[in-house]
Homo-oligomer: A and B are copies of this chain.
């Protein structure tokens, strides 16, 4: 029995749409009718910024609004749900989110994007040791990737703090040139990200995780500065299809 996929699409909205596109593109179809049922709840106005919460700039935990939207998706019929926001997977957000779902007796299968990336790296890059991570400052400070990758035998390579806060985070968040405001990579955003990639390569990274769901919007290629780019949105899309109906998952 094919399951229905639910997507919490507002974190951010362009990232949600990117996930929907990757779900459709990774599904083996020849007709409209072959595609999986996918419900997308994009209500970004009620979800406070995940990095601002992790840095103590807002008191409200976005876990509660995220949990409400997962519950809505489950009520609509979704059985397997993804949240295309890396920062939302920080334990200080994701753990209370899971607790809320349990309290609401919502037994939907909520995938953990970061753990899916870890699984992907083990399968696809088993010889790699050092994995670079570009992300929001929330994901960076909360060690979202480091804490998942290190038990698997990988070392997370991060930019130095100044580069992180002055270049990488603004490439995502700047209200004028950032990916969230523009929905595409402006020249300034690309320049900032290139500085990050150059640093991670020089620091020994063998691959780079695009560890914020806005970042894949900036890269049309699957490599940059000679390193493979790991796209968590694509990995989440494939994991959702795998759980909904593995027979429809295209080969990698």
Contact = CB atoms under 8 A, between A and B. Distances in A.
A11 B33 CA distance: 9
A44 B40 contact: no
A38 B42 contact: yes
A35 interface: yes
Given A29-B181, A44-B32, A13 B17 contact: no
Interface stretch (A20-28, A112-120, A141-149): A20-28
Interface in A178-207: 180-181, 183
Contacts of A20: 16-17, 20, 40, 42
A101 interface: no
B30 A24 contact: no
Interface string A32-62: 1111011111111101110000000000000
Given A40-B39, A76-B72, A10 B32 contact: yes
Given A20-B40, A76-B76, A33 B49 contact: yes
Contact of A14 (B14, B16, B24, B44): B24
Interface in A65-95: 72, 76
A12 interface: yes
A216 interface: no
Nearest to A41: B39
Nearest to A4: B43
20 contacts: A11-B32, A12-B35, A13-B24, A13-B38, A14-B21, A17-B17, A17-B20, A17-B21, A20-B42, A24-B183, A30-B181, A31-B175, A31-B180, A32-B180, A33-B44, A35-B45, A37-B42, A38-B42, A39-B41, A72-B76
What are the 9 A-B residue pairs with the smallest beta carbon separation, nearest first?
A40-B40, A30-B175, A12-B32, A37-B43, A32-B44, A13-B35, A38-B42, A13-B24, A35-B44
